[in-house]
A = this chain, B = another copy of it.
Amino acid sequence: MKELLKQNILKHIALSNKEIDSFCNLFNENKVMKKQFLLREGDICKFEGFVTKGLFRIYHIDQNGFEQVLYFAQENWWITDMDSFTNEKPSHLYIQALEDSVVLLISKKDKEFAYNNIPKIEKLFRIMTQKTHISLQRRMIDNLSKTADQRYIDFIEKYPNLFQRLTNLQIAAYLGISHEFLSKIRRKIASKK
């Protein structure tokens, strides 16, 4: 049941059986039904999670009530509000299941325990954080330099699987455009084929 998690970790770093087992044992399985929230604005994020089934959206609601999706997390992705979790302060984010999902959660206390007792875990999260930072940096550049059409096309190419599972509403919120405009982009693309 924690096979996916183990494989995911081993992609980043080499660990002995003992190390990986004792780390994975700190995670607990949770089911989250579609539309339920793992985190809401104002909550303090008490967990770091790894998705083994289903799909989540991590988003923010701005002053005008518009939702911005920071990222989607499907099977094999990690989810948390790093700011709220590490600094133990109220979150600005929502984490909601878009499908019936299963997620493995580790508490802050247990993660601290792992940092202090399994030295390589520090390295693991240093590497993982670097990787997520690198991809966010790429997305930042893309958002600054590319037009919405191109960002949509890139999204489909990069995440064909997510594209199938998401509504246009969600994709628009990720691309940072209105869903009406996304609809017009789709029409334009369709007419070109």
Q: Are B145 and A60 in contact (CB under 8 A)?
A: yes
Q: Which of B125, B139, B145 contacts A140 (CB 8 A)?
A: B139
A160 adjacent to chain B (CB < 8 Å): no
Cβ of A43 under 8 Å from chain B: no
Distance in Å from the Cβ of A85 to the closest Cβ of chain B?
Answer: 10
- Chain A interface bracket (under 10, 10 to 19, 20 to 34, 35 or more): 20 to 34
A83 at the interface (CB under 8 A from B): yes
User: Is the CB–CB distance between A141 and B60 below 8 Å?
Assistant: yes
**Which residues of A come within 8 Å of B, CB atoms?**
60, 62-64, 66, 68, 70, 82-83, 86, 92, 115, 119, 122-123, 125-126, 129-130, 132-134, 136-137, 139-141, 143-146, 176
Is there contact, CB below 8 Å, between B134 and A123?
no
A141 to B68, CA, bound (A): 7
Instruction: Tell me the complex Cα distance, A180–B145, Å.
Output: 17
List the B side residues contacting A86 at CB < 8 Å.
130, 134
A70 contact set on B, CB distance < 8 A: 137, 140-141
Nearest-Cβ distance from residue A147 to partner chain B, whole angstroms: 10
Q: Please tell me if the beta carbons of B82 and A130 are within 8 angstroms of each other in the complex.
A: yes
Specify which chain B residues have a CB less than 8 angstroms from the CB of A129 in the assembled complex.
Answer: 126, 129-130, 133
Chain B residue nearest to A173 (CB atoms) is: B144
Chain B residues in 8 Å Cβ range of A62: 141, 145-146
Please measure, in the bound complex, the distance between the C-alpha atom of A144 and the C-alpha atom of B141, giving whole angstroms.
13
